[in-house]
Structure 1
Amino acid sequence: MGFSSQNKVKIEGGMASMTDLVFLLLVFFIIMSTMAEKNTPVELPQPTEKLDTSKENATTTVVITEDDLYQIMLSDASNSNNPFGVKTDGVSYDEMRDFLIQEVEKTPEMKVKIAGARKASYEAVFQILALSKAKGWKPVLAYD
C-alpha cells in the first residue's frame, strides 16, 4: 500500500520579487520625502486669558535664599518700616510669618509673589504656598 504522494510541494520563496518590492518602496519614500513640505503649519491654541504683567499684581514679594531663609520685599506704595525687607541674610519662616500676613492683607488683591534661588528647597517654597492657601491669598510664582 503506497499511501505516499509523489507530488512534493516546494516551499521556496522567490527572492527576486522581494528585492523588487524593497526597491520600489525605497524609491517611493525617497520621492515622497523630497516632495514633502518642510514647514508644516501647526495651529496652536490661543490663550483664553490675557496675562496681566503689571507690577501692581503682587505688591509683596517673598524671596527665598539658598539657605532657605526668607526676605520680604514691599512695593513702593507700602510703608517703609519693613524690618526684613533689605536684609541680606534673611530670616526664618517663623520670624517673618506674622509680618507677611499683616503686609499681604493690607493690599486689596491679597497677592503674594514668591521668588527664590534655584537651590532653595521645595519645603521652603511650599510653606509660603500653604500659608497662601490657608489665608485665601493668590500666590504668583516668579521664575526665570
Structure 2
Amino acid sequence: MVRRNKRFHAEVATSSLSDIMFFLLLFFLIISTLANPNVIKMTLPKSKNNEKTNKQLISLSVTEEKRYFLDKEEVPFDQLESVLMSKITPGSDETIVVRIPYNLQVQDLVDVLQIGVKNKLKFVIATSNSQ
C-alpha cells in the first residue's frame, strides 16, 4: 500500500500585491508633481555666526500700528513704493530687510512683499534668534 501525502499547503499569492504597490507609487508621484502652491519667491535669511556681507541693505520697518519706516524715515504706505524705488540705485545688488512684528496679519506682509515682486527687488525678512 502506497501512502499519499494529502497535506494541504497554504499559499499566498503576492504577485498582484507588487503590481498594486507599483500603481500606488506611480499615482502618488504624479499627484505630487501636480501640487504647485501659489507662493511669492523670496530670499530667505540664512543664520550663520560671524558672516559678513558687502551687500548694501535698506531697512524697511513696520510697527504694530502699521507705520512704515525706510531707514528710520517714516513713509506713508501709498508712497512706500516710490520712495523705495528712489533709494535704490539702478543696476545695484541691494537687498531690502523687512522688519515686521510677528503679530501682524499675513496680508500686511504680503502687501509689502508685492512691492518687491512688482519691481523685481530682493526682500529678506529679519527674524529674532529664539533659543
Residue 76 of structure 2 aligns with an amino acid whose one-letter code is S
Alignment partner, residue 72 of structure 1: 70
Distance 1:140 1:116, change over 3 A: same
Q: Once the two structures are aligned, what percentage of the paired residues are identical?
A: 12
Pick the aligned partner of 2:93 from 109, 128, 132.
109
**Distance in 1 between the 2:91 and 2:101 partners?**
26
Output the aligned Cα RMSD. Answer: 2.8
Pick the aligned partner of 1:121 from 105, 109, 114.
105
Unaligned runs of 5+ residues in structure 2 are 1-45
Deviation of 1:118 (Å) = 2.5
Higher alpha-carbon Rg: 1
Pick the aligned partner of 1:59 from 52, 57, 60.
57
Unaligned runs of 5+ residues in structure 1 are 1-48, 74-84
Deviation of 1:92 (Å) = 2.5
**Distance in 1 between the 2:105 and 2:78 partners?**
16
Distance 1:113 1:50, change over 3 A: closer
**Distance in 1 between the 2:112 and 2:98 partners?**
8
Instruction: For 1:1-144, list aligned pairs within 5 A.
Output: 53-54=51-52, 56-73=54-71, 85-86=72-73, 90-106=74-90, 108-144=92-128
